[in-house]
Amino acid sequence: MALTVGELSRLAGITVRALHHYDEIGLVRPSQRTAAGYRLYDGRDVLRLQQVLVFRELGVPLDEIGAAIDAAADRAALLRKHRRELADKRTRIDAMLAAVDAALEVLEKANMTMQPEDFKALFDGFNPEDYDDETRTRWGTTDAYQESARRTKQYGKTEWEAIRRESDAIHGRLRELMERGAPASDPAIQEAVEDHRKHIDRWFYPCSPEMHRRLGEMYLADPRFVANLDKVAPGFAQFLRDLISAS
């Protein structure tokens, strides 16, 4: 089925003028024309337009997009790369939104000091202070513990809220994939697991893939971590550990 320029404009959320411009510069040309000369776009044209819009979202200049698409020998591989980049961007945006929301909450309360009850509320029953003594005993001499302690000492309510929101977003994506029965080889699974590792690396301590796998084993070995992670969904701790182990 072919789409008119108006139909494609509404479908893609861009203006007819933009589609005319893309046609004029050879970026997205309609494969067909009516007897009266009106543009008609088929499935391949729509797919190309989607790739153009993804490149635009990633900040690639318009005059470089056509060459980048045409040079790709494997369109599916190019789309998978774009998806990874967009997922990374989404994670960063989620974190920034969380930080802004937390800052607004503090400002609207006219209270810039983070109270103990605020900190506890961020983790909904999972209070890191409950593990302080054991954590120091088991990992207190490690570089990871010391780096985590150094970073978190500087965090206020804004940062902790951003951490929680970002973690919730990653867990939410993984829960949806778990419920769909997605295999570990699914690119969306791999991206979410990598985002989980990057979340730890960004906020707490350098987390290599090997460190991430060790952390996954700890999630499953400690009943308290299992109980907390299984709040996301029954069996989520096992699911997360298995995905990290396979990554």
Would you state the CATH architecture of domain 76-246?
Orthogonal Bundle (1.10)
Structure tokens at 54: 């993804």
DSSP string computed for 1-59: --EEHHHHHHHHT--HHHHHHHHHTTSS--SEE-TT--EEE-HHHHHHHHHHHHHHHTT
For residue 239, the model assigns a pLDDT of 93
Range 3-71: architecture per CATH: Orthogonal Bundle (1.10)
The letter for the amino acid at 85 is E
The pLDDT of residue 142 is 58
In this prediction, residue 16 carries a pLDDT of 92
pLDDT at site 105: 66
- Mean pLDDT per 10-residue section of the chain, whose length is 247 residues: 89 90 94 92 89 82 84 73 76 68 59 48 41 42 69 83 89 91 89 93 88 86 82 91 90
pLDDT at 226: 85
Tally Cβ neighbours within 10 Å of residue 221. Answer: 11
User: Dihedral (C-alpha) 12, 13, 15, 21: value to the nearest 10 degrees?
Assistant: -40
pLDDT of amino acid 101: 67
Residue with tokens 């990992």: 139
pLDDT recorded at residue 102 = 62
Amino acid identity for residue 210 in this structure: E
Q: Any idea where the domains of the chain sit in the sequence? A: 3-71, 76-246
How far is residue 169's CA from residue 105's CA, in Å, rounded to a whole number?
20
pLDDT at residue 122, as a whole number: 42
